[in-house]
Structure 1
Amino acid sequence: MDERYTELSCEEFSDRLAARESVPGGGGAAALVGALGAALCSMAGSFTVGKPRYASVEDEVRALVDEAEDVRYRLLELVEEDAEGFAPLAAAYAIPRDDPGRAEALERATEAAAMAPLAMVGECCRAVSLLERMGERCSRLLASDVACGALLVRAALGAASVNVYVNTASLADRAQAAAIESACEELVEEYVPRAERLAESVLEDIRGRSR
């Protein structure tokens, strides 16, 4: 694929998302939102590094920023991988129904299409963990950005999981479908509440300052 969706402007990407086109779709949007959440983790660390008050945790913060950047770039790659995964699926659906190879082609393409959103779920979980740790170490002035990052990653987690399940629902191999769904569900059930608790904790602290 010559075109890279992550190289489009924000306006162009949203225009393409709104258009009557198959890609980018919900999976690409989920990955992009997750990348934005990870970027806010990096931002919180970047503003904390160099401040004398946080000198004792500076090395930890730098390491967290490096990890958050790794997550961010991986999620941006997954925007592209999700789009690339649609082409074989579309080609499989275009095979005539009386073709004996159609079912196998569809099965392979559908399972492959579930892999990018499943990887998004994993990266978003990494982002939640990093945001939790960053929230304990970064400047208090950046706490709201950590909370916003957590909420974005939480949304990305939910959206990516939908894209896992919409593919596994079509798999004929129900054992394989169940294995993929179980891996996704386990992560979502642990990390969605963690992201929500982090955001709620920051919000309570912020609102408490004004009382």
Structure 2
Amino acid sequence: MTNRLFDEPIGSFLERAASKAATPGGGAAAALAAALGASMGEMAAAVTSAGTGDGGPSSTVAEAAARLHAARLAAEELAEADMAAFGSWMAAYRLPKGTEEEKAARTRSMVEATDGAIEVPLRLLRLCVSGLHAAGELADATKLRVLSDLGISAVFLASAARAAELTVRMNLGDVRDPGKRERARDEAHTLLAEADRLQEAVLTAVERRMETEHK
């Protein structure tokens, strides 16, 4: 059975990321940042929910926690998917191209591999936006002692979104279809703008509450 990336100690991940190894690269690192961001938001929701009595946490907190939990698990899977996508691209790149048939087969494989290399970071961008929406729903409900953690959640998720957008843009250079290239670029740009907006909203709410509480 193949070991999953997130079953390894974090130190092993960092050692591999710092090495000459092809993976994990920027896409997997972005997914790790997203997973950390979702984790911080999920933790803030858990602490806020603790001690709420028989009624349990509010529906808003519970729903946001569930979305952040799902985002964390999905980010872990996307780290694996990013490395698999890179492996597929390298395998396609190394295919023989001595004959016309081989060239055609290689081109088809390259197109498929490039599509995967773009779709994975796009999925990560969508995930980050979803996580930031959930963090925003917690901004007014989170307990003070974990308020900064919620802000950190937003920072990590927005940073992961920016990293994913960079990955999309880099990989667009291998897309031959102008329409496909434009659609992916536009979606990535729109998602990043939304992530930036949501991060700003969360941080504004967090900082406002911190200033009020510390007066």
Q: TM-score, normalised by structure 1?
A: 0.91
CA distance in 2, matches of 1:207, 1:137: 16
Which letter does structure 1 place at the counterpart of 2:103?
P
Superposed CA deviations along residues 99-123 of structure 1, whole A, max 9, x for unmatched, are: 4223332122111111111100000
- Name 1:100's counterpart in structure 2: 103
User: Shift in Å at residue 197 of structure 1?
Assistant: 3.4
User: Which amino acid counterpart does residue 24 of structure 1 have in structure 2?
Assistant: P
Q: Secondary structure at the match of 2:174?
A: coil
Return the alpha-carbon distance in structure 2 between the equivalents of residues 84 and 172 of structure 1: 22
Other-structure match for 2:80: 80
Change (3 A) 1:204 1:59: closer
- Whether contact under 8 Å (1:50, 1:58) holds in the other structure is no
Q: Per the alignment, do residues 26 and 140 of structure 1 end up closer, same or farther by CA in structure 2, a change over 3 Å counting? A: same
Q: Which is worse superposed, 99-108 or 134-143?
A: 99-108
CA distance in 2, matches of 1:201, 1:74: 27
State how many pairs are aligned.
211
Q: Please say which of residues 16-25 and 94-103 is displaced more in the overlay.
A: 94-103
Query: The residue matched to 2:164 in structure 1 has which SS?
Result: helix
Amino acid corresponding to residue 206 of structure 2 in structure 1: V
Q: Is the 8 A contact 1:151 1:196 kept in 2?
A: no
Structure 2, unpaired ranges of 5+? none
Q: CA deviation at 1:3?
A: 3.0
Instruction: Identify the residue that residue 31 of structure 1 maps to in structure 2.
Output: 31
1:32-71 matches, within 5 Å, as: 32-52=32-52, 58-71=58-71
Deviates most, 101-110 or 184-193: 101-110
Alignment correspondent of 2:162: 158
Identity of aligned residues (%): 24
Tell me the TM-score normalized by structure 2: 0.89
| Correspondent of 1:185 among 186, 189, 192 | 189
Deviation, structure 1 residue 205:
4.2
Task: Return 74-83 or 198-207, whichever deviates more.
Answer: 198-207
Residue equivalent to 1:18: 18
Change over 3 Å in CA distance of 1:155–1:78 after alignment to 2: same
Indicate how the Cα distance of structure 1 residues 56 and 104 shifts in structure 2: closer, same or farther if over 3 A, else same.
closer
Structure 1: gaps of 5 or more residues = none
Indicate the residue corresponding to 1:136 in structure 2.
140
> 1:63/1:205 Cα in 2 relative to 1: closer, same or farther (>3 Å)?
closer
- The residue number in structure 1 matching 2:149 is 145
